[in-house]
Structure 1
Amino acid sequence: MTLSPSRRTLLGGLFAATLSPLPLRAQDGWPSRPIRLIVPFGAGTSTDIVARLLVPRMSQSLGQPIVVENRPGAGGVVGSDAVAKSPPDGYTLCLGSIASHSVNMSLMPQMPYDVLRDFTPLSLVTEAPNLLVVSASVPAKTLPEFVEWAKQQRGGVSYASAGNGTSSHLAGELLKMKTGAPLVHVPYKSGAQAVTDVIGGTVPMTIYQVTAVLPFVRDGKLKALATTSAKRLEIAPEVPTAIEQGVAEFDVAAWHGLFAPAKLPAPVRDRIYAALREALFAPELAEQLRNQGLIPVGLTPDAFRPWLEQDIAKWREVVRVSGATAD
């Protein structure tokens, strides 16, 4: 099986090709009233955190308030669908994620929207790398040792995720495909519950957000065997990547992207992107994001669409081969 090219390679090429400045002027009079930013997940989630960090600076740049509205449900589908069906006037936006705007396209057979048809992709805002961690009792210090140990366990080895369709779920399925490790998925209602059970030894392994698991690694309650990104993380440089340890093209990160309804006028699109980029790379905000384990990206609209096509195709293949479902 051949998966899509490394997301980092694609990011680099597209980003380098689209660095030309965008016009700051939008259609006459826009924006003339407050803008809604729908977050299709609950308060306190990583998507919500990103939104609330970005909004003050974007509001200042655009000269109008941006009101964050949490509308969770069905893995991000409920809030995202509301945006897809809104007028393409720039007054309703969505901060989506890998679940709502990529994985669900393959995981849910009855999606009410098509991401590439019903949205205007504005920018890949941030990426959120994960760490592969195991219980302290697991007798493995490296990823190859863990895979070999898993293959020796009768009935396989369970791994916990933050729920069906999350990056932690699909990362585990991709690892299973790439290594042949007999991994058995155990979905939890939240990542926090999954991490707690791995610490307690109920489930041996999970792949989850670096900031959520790193304190337990530092305390010796978990062992970090690999980062799932293409490069080592600044926040945990001692942890090798899965690629370094022989798992080719294993580049998995949760992500957050900004979207508007389809057919958004180009001048409005470009104005929103300019405000986003100004906010995203303000030094203090970039630092706040990194402290949350988030990597600022800021792909342009023209670069984000082909990147998104690649991401959807990659997870479609993983879902097809693994048989993963949303149930």
Structure 2
Amino acid sequence: MKNIFTRRALLAAAALAAVLPAHAQEPAAAYPSHVVRIIVPNPAGGTSDVLARLLAKELGESFKQSFIVENKAGGNGHIGASFVAKSPPDGYNLLLLDMSNLTIGPAVMPALNYSPLKDLAPIAIPAFSPHLLVVRNDLPVKNIDELAAYAKKSGKPPSFGTPLASISQLAGILLAQDRGFEFNVIGYKGGAQALADLAGSQIDTAMASVVATNALVQGGKMRAIAVTSAKPFASVPGVPTVASQIPDFVTGSWQGLLAPAGTPPAVLDKLQAAVQRIVAKPEVAKRLAELGSEPSDMDRQQIAAWMQAETARWGKVVKDHNIKAE
């Protein structure tokens, strides 16, 4: 009788294995054995989309497997992020986005249906583009101290164009607070329109990534007075860092590649190593520089710790200033 039950158990186990999804059985060494999707939670044509398509091509060549980009826009990036967070943890649905959405999301959108810290596993940050603080050409300031002095002398806060409840708004608040003045925040649905209004001198200042602003600065549409990288940034030579006056003030667009939490560490390691090799290639490094960005050398454990610290940092700013998403 015992042998009958044993045989039945073995048969049942075999039947269950036959219907289990392939990702549950595939050894990490075989990854990837079929198409991998990189989900971009923004419309086509933006920074994340451009980077995802660059990586998809390079990863496909590296692994001899298809990597495709799929745009799932909406909800300030959280629709696509939630989709990946709830996907099977097998490495076949990846997420690429500006990670500031993840680090400020829990504070400005407390009803999120996933936890960026618990439900997503970081892999790499292939591109970082710091913020540029830019002003209209006829504003009589050339650095942040002169901007603070101007704000105090004029008796009215300089207007600051930004998408509301965004990393640029929070960064602007921190900077002004440290320098002892306030911005008159003008809310926009997107950063592009804020920059267009700044180029037309309809607002005084804005803060956006080098990727978004540098062509406008180079074209003489506005003036850059500070960059938020830890050290001088190659794409904007001669622009002083905020960190030189406000220690550790580093903000910007951190384009990160992530997978669902629970993805096998060996798969995450394979992807991390592949991305690091790709961004080190001279032609890729040149393309990233042309986009106004550079890769981060943080490994995935360091990125996880960074995410935790950034989530706490921005959560405090959101709470202290009662900032809410629209």
Q: If the TM-score is normalised by the length of the shorter chain, which range does it land in?
A: 0.7 to 0.9
User: What's the CA shift string for 1:210-233, capped at 9, x where partnerless?
Assistant: 243333333443221111112111
Deviation at 1:250, TM superposition (A): 1.8
User: What's the CA shift string for 1:178-236, capped at 9, x where partnerless?
Assistant: 12212022122222211111121211000112243333333443221111112111122
Tell me the distance in 2 between the aligned counterparts of 1:164 and 1:137: 25
Tell me the distance in 2 between the aligned counterparts of 1:153 and 1:325: 29
2:267 corresponds in structure 1 to: 268
Tell me the distance in 2 between the aligned counterparts of 1:28 and 1:124: 23
2:94 corresponds in structure 1 to: 93
Greater than 6 Å deviation, 4+ residue runs: none
By relative contact order (CA 8 Å, sep 6+), the higher-ranking structure is: 1
2:313 maps to amino acid: K
1:37 maps to amino acid: I
Is the deviation greater in 56-65 or in 208-217? 208-217
User: What's the CA shift string for 1:102-142, capped at 9, x where partnerless?
Assistant: 11121111011111111111122221112111111211122
Contact 2:130–2:250 (Cα < 8 Å) also in 1: no
Deviation at 1:29, TM superposition (A): 2.9
1:312 maps to amino acid: T
> Is 1:150 equivalent to 2:126 in the alignment?
no
Deviation at 1:172, TM superposition (A): 0.9
> Is 1:315 equivalent to 2:290 in the alignment?
no
1:129 corresponds in structure 2 to: 130
Is the deviation greater in 224-233 or in 208-217? 208-217
Tell me the distance in 2 between the aligned counterparts of 1:323 and 1:307: 24
Is the deviation greater in 278-287 or in 165-174? 165-174
> Is 1:191 equivalent to 2:209 in the alignment?
no
Contact 1:80–1:100 (Cα < 8 Å) also in 2: no
Identity score, percent: 34
Contact 1:40–1:77 (Cα < 8 Å) also in 2: yes
Deviation at 1:263, TM superposition (A): 0.7
Stretches of structure 2 that go unaligned for 5 or more consecutive residues are 1-26
Change (3 A) 1:207 1:48: same
Deviation at 1:64, TM superposition (A): 1.1
Is the deviation greater in 150-159 or in 269-278? 150-159
By percentage of residues, which structure has more helix?
2
Tell me the distance in 2 between the aligned counterparts of 1:304 and 1:211: 22
User: What's the CA shift string for 1:241-299, capped at 9, x where partnerless?
Assistant: 1232x333321111111111111111111111122222121110111011101111142
Question: Of the two, which has the highest radius of gyration?
Answer: 2
Tell me the distance in 1 between the aligned counterparts of 2:288 and 2:230: 19
Tell me the distance in 1 between the aligned counterparts of 2:258 and 2:121: 6
2:215 corresponds in structure 1 to: 215
Count the aligned residue pairs: 301
The 5 A counterparts of 1:227-266 are: 227-244=227-244, 246-266=245-265
User: What's the CA shift string for 1:153-173, capped at 9, x where partnerless?
Assistant: 344221011x12333222111
Secondary structure at the residue paired with 1:59? helix
1:78 maps to amino acid: I
1:184 maps to amino acid: N
